[in-house]
Amino acid sequence: MKRLNSQLQDDGAPMELILLLRTLLAGCKEISFRVSQGALAGVLGSTLSENIQGETQKKLDVISNQILKDILSESGYVKAISSEEEDDVVGCNPNGNYLVSFDPLDGSSNTDINSLIGTIFSITHAPQWMEADDPSAFLQPASQIVAAGYVLYGPSTMLALTTGKGTHLYTLDKTHGGFLLTTANVKIPVQTSEYAINGSNQRHWETSTQQYIGDLLLGTNGPRERDFNMRWVAAMVGDIHRILCRGGVFLYPYDKRDPTKAGKLRLLYEANPMAFLIEQAGGLADTGTGRIMEVMPTEIHQRVAVVLGSKQEVEACLSYR
């Protein structure tokens, strides 16, 4: 099987980017080990603090964030990082050529039940005329991302990665510690009969989302004239991984609880990297009002509504608006 380095070279990634990805993934391998130890290492449960999002931090949130912050800061390749768990950007090397944004542990509420969790990341070029701790450097649309991916900590540790030359899946071979290519150039089926949405928020959805999901629930008796299955992992990495493997559509739509927030998911740390992966695999990624890849960020913790996955089903969802 082809090693990660070989595939990145075949895709034309510059050496410095390859070295940065290797550094980032070294941190993810350390997180994978900590996750696998679970209760044996005393890393489960919550802390007494909240992150900038107002969410109670899990112990593994804090540990994972620190691992990635330390390894990226020391690499020399990174000018600054932006994390879902940090209030502000963290300056690293003033001469670094890259910016890294990440959600250190997506789905961390699943840690205590030994379910799917993962790390999501994206990399962009660092504007050299800005200071390392200037948050406006990160206000770039996803179309400027040079590499994006996630590491899924499940029965096996898997990496989904794109540098703009297709989306590839790798599996961590724990016998030698490297990621090996297991699926090249993933192609998401254009049609699907699976959808993922947090149905407990139904009463807060806009009318268009209510009507769309209502028609899916009617199955063969409704206008869609076929049955749909709902799948919900409660970790975006798990739901997106399923879509990359066999198709589907994932929604975290705008709801009316807080009009000041466009959605629940963070643009820089979740929506942008996932949109890049999905589009590189032939799917679509939208906010409900426009392509995610074209959204111009206004601040580093900005939230957006999300609908992404199999092309025809995303289009069907958008047609209800």
Going by the annotation, the residues of the binding site for Mg(2+) are 84, 103, 105-106, 270
Closest CA to 298 of 148, 144, 138: 138
Q: Which tokens sit at 292?
A: 């995610």
Chain position carrying tokens 């589907």: 248
Q: Residues annotated in the binding site, as ranges?
A: 84, 103, 105-109, 198, 264, 270
Tally of CA atoms within 13 A in the half-sphere of 313 that contains its CB: 26
Instruction: Tell me the C-alpha distance between 225 and 208, whole Å.
Output: 19
Q: Which helix (H) or strand (E) holds 18?
A: helix 15-37
Instruction: Tell me the C-alpha distance between 142 and 294, whole Å.
Output: 7
Largest Cα separation within the chain, whole Å, is: 61
Instruction: Tell me the C-alpha distance between 11 and 8, whole Å.
Output: 5
Question: What three-state secondary structure class fits 298?
Answer: coil
Q: How are beta strands 98-106 and 78-83 bridged, if at all?
A: parallel
Instruction: Tell me the C-alpha distance between 173 and 151, whole Å.
Output: 13
Beta strand spans in the chain (E): 46-50, 56-58, 78-83, 90-91, 98-106, 117-125, 145-153, 157-162, 167-173, 178-183, 194-196, 229-230, 249-252, 265-266, 284-286, 303-304, 306-309
Q: Residues annotated in the binding site for substrate, as ranges?
A: 106-109, 198, 264
